[in-house]
Chain A
Amino acid sequence: DAGVIQSPRHEVTEMGQEVTLRCKPISGHDYLFWYRQTMMRGLELLIYFNNNVPIDDSGMPEDRFSAKMPNASFSTLKIQPSEPRDSAVYFCASTLFGGVTGELFFGEGSRLTVL
């Protein structure tokens, strides 16, 4: 299995631009999570989906952030407009309900730099 695949690995953009991060979860997994990691705040859960349905988006910082999961094999995290404080590493993770609870499989992350 290829694991959780994220793209792009690195993104540098200017303030005000739209940013779209992509994630392909492990095939068969029914939970998908988006995390953000910064030096100041560590790893934070932004939103998670179950069977493509958003369950809890209380961690999404503000309306500039949105996430979708149109099908079981693809999710996007969009920031529009982007701001310098959005600079972080964004991780996607997936897991299977009924598997080892708490065993999340993380992707390699997307490092975002907003100038």
Chain B
Amino acid sequence: DAKTTQPPSMDCAEGRAANLPCNHSTISGNEYVYWYRQIHSQGPQYIIHGLKNNETNEMASLIITEDRKSSTLILPHATLRDTAVYYCIRLPQGGSEKLVFGKGTKLTVNP
């Protein structure tokens, strides 16, 4: 049970921002929000994670609502290579073994 809710699919135009939503309304205070992606035929790849503050790295930005019930992963300038399944995962601190993948969102970046 991934305990997060994501749309099954989304489309985005190349060069535009891709905003991927995730609902985690029952998240606990000690649980982080993690994002992974899986490009076809490859292993999952870590993108970013956060607790309650917004986070940014070279790959993406993560916006977490103040009540922490939902978050949005932002790919600021999507490219064709960003086409992948994106997974939003709740994970307690120190609990790598509890990484549970749901069905994720299939993002298709169109030329």
Contact = CB atoms under 8 A, between A and B. Distances in A.
Interface residues of B, number: 21
**Most A-side CB within 10 Å, residue of B91, B96, B100, B103:** B96
B44 interface: yes
B46 A103 contact: yes
A115 interface: no
B97 A45 contact: yes
Interface string B35-56: 0000001111110010000000
B91 A45 contact: no
A4 B42 CA distance: 12
A17 to B, nearest CB: 24
Given A42-B101, A43-B101, A102-B49, A95 B96 contact: yes
Given A31-B96, A101-B95, A106 B44 contact: yes
Interface string A75-115: 00000000000000001010101001111111111000000
Contact of A101 (B44, B45, B91, B101): B91
Interface of B: 32, 34, 41-46, 49, 89, 91, 93-97, 99-103
Given A42-B103, A102-B46, A102-B95, 5 more contacts: A43-B44, A100-B49, A102-B91, A102-B99, A107-B43
